[in-house]
Amino acid sequence: MSFTLGIVAFFVGLLLVILIHELGHFTVARAFGFKVEEYFVGFGPKLWSTRRGEIEYGVKALPLGGYVKIAGMNPYQPVAPEDLPRAYGSKPRWQRALVIFAGPGIHLVIAAVLFGAYFLVSGDYSTATPVVSQVAATLNGHVSPASEAGLRVGDRIVRVGDLDTPNLPELGDYTTAHVGEPVEFTVIRDGESVRLTITPEEATDPAGGSIGRVGIVLDAEDPGSVGPVTAATSGVKEVGSATAESFGQIGKVFGPEGIGRVTRLVFTDAERRVEDPTSVVGIGRAVGKTGAAGDWSTILYFLGFVTVFIGLVNLMPLPPFDGGHLAVLLIEKIRGRTIDQRRIIPVAVAVMGFFIVFVALTMIADLTKPAT
């Protein structure tokens, strides 16, 4: 798979995730008898639409999300008297909550499928020996640690530090845990054991986390096959791991620390650091590199992680996110009275404005100072 094809595959997958997110809202709303008026993917100018029954389906110019329009959700748009029983505000709060949660909630299902597909395609690496398939000449602007140490394509890594017969995940975890420390690698080359000392360097993974890297692409020697049941079970477990990691990343990316880092990258001469936030531009570039290396199954994993991350961002208790609507319903339940939706709109506009500016700055940083 080429660099470009890898990026295209990732963004097409991301667009499908958005489509299914809105389908979650749409399906549950229809099941409970809400009046759904529009189902669109994208924002901005309308590119195409068609009407079937009372619902208009379509695509808009900016593929940055999507929406399902339900009668009564916009307080400034009147509802016809005959539609009032099916309007958003006329339905029980528990039904409204399920309609809202269905969008981000389905992300966990999509991610489980993507992770399961990854394990099904890539196989069982728990007993497979890592094999070097590529050695990068440079890393972070200088000779890569692997190249400098003399690691070669075809080397079978049988020991790293004090870890015997590491599998691929264990090898990745070990290098990340020993960034900046000389680590002894033992490899089998042409039937002989060779020892090399390599010092892992910090790098950024596609999710924006910090990892250790030595400048190699690894394959696995005869990974065992994985059945559908095992792959599905592993996929569900991986959703749990990705959820826990995403919670930590959300706090770092959108908190004062992340805002400060993005501002520093864009408006000063500061160099990019491994912990700096990244946008879909940076993630797309990393996925493109993965595609260029021929490791297309890993794109499924990247997409699964991003799917979980986006779903959790949507559950942030801030309007106009789905979590903001859920928070309003909870407050209404506690207070025992309905909140005027018009009072929420200024907050939603401010939140959306912040995220638009933040995402734009992060994309500028990824374009002008890309992560290596």
The answer to whether the beta carbons of residues 329 and 96 sit under 8 Å apart is: yes
The total of structural domains in the chain comes to 2
Radius of gyration (C-alpha) of the chain in whole angstroms? 24
Domain boundary among the residues 221, 245, 272 is at 221
State the Cα angle at 9 between 321 and 60, rounded to 5°. Answer: 45
pLDDT for 137 equals: 81
pTM score above 0.75:
yes
pLDDT for 143 equals: 87
pLDDT for 125 equals: 63
Residues 6+ apart with CB under 8 A from 65: 18, 42, 43
Q: Is the pLDDT of residue 331 over 70?
A: yes
* 357 and 263 assigned to the same domain: yes
pLDDT for 293 equals: 66
Per residue in 80-129, pLDDT tens?
999 999 999 999 999 999 999 999 999 999 999 999 998 888 776 666 77
DSSP run (H or E) holding 192: strand 192-198
In a 10 Å sphere around its CB, with 0-12 CB exposed, 13-18 middle and 19+ buried, how is residue 41 labelled? buried
The answer to whether the beta carbons of residues 31 and 109 sit under 8 Å apart is: no
Q: Is the pLDDT of residue 1 over 70?
A: no
* 248 and 200 assigned to the same domain: no
pLDDT for 66 equals: 87
Per residue in 148-194, pLDDT tens?
999 999 999 999 999 988 888 888 889 999 999 999 999 999 999 99
pLDDT for 372 equals: 64
* 143 and 100 assigned to the same domain: no
pLDDT for 207 equals: 54
Q: What is the mean pLDDT of the chain?
A: 88
Residues 6+ apart with CB under 8 A from 66: 18, 19, 21, 22, 40, 41, 42, 43
Domain boundary among the residues 221, 255, 277 is at 221
pLDDT for 145 equals: 92
Distance (Å, whole) CA 99 – CA 202 = 42
* 84 and 99 assigned to the same domain: yes
Active site residue 56: no
* 272 and 369 assigned to the same domain: yes
Distance (Å, whole) CA 40 – CA 26 = 10
The answer to whether the beta carbons of residues 183 and 198 sit under 8 Å apart is: yes
Distance (Å, whole) CA 304 – CA 188 = 34
* 322 and 181 assigned to the same domain: no
What residues make up the domain containing 191? Answer: 129-221
262 falls in which pLDDT band (50, 70, 90)?
Answer: very high
Distance (Å, whole) CA 305 – CA 205 = 11
| 3 state SS for 87-98 | CHHHCCHHHHHH
Q: Which two tokens stand for residue 20?
A: 């299914």
Q: Is the pLDDT of residue 332 over 60?
A: yes
Q: Which two tokens stand for residue 69?
A: 């329009």
Distance (Å, whole) CA 148 – CA 344 = 58
The answer to whether the beta carbons of residues 18 and 65 sit under 8 Å apart is: yes
pLDDT for 198 equals: 94
Q: Beta strand 129-135 with 138-139: parallel, antiparallel or unpaired?
A: unpaired
* 317 and 196 assigned to the same domain: no
* 242 and 365 assigned to the same domain: yes
Per residue in 19-41, pLDDT tens?
999 999 999 999 999 999 999 98
pLDDT for 146 equals: 92
206 falls in which pLDDT band (50, 70, 90)?
Answer: low
* 173 and 322 assigned to the same domain: no
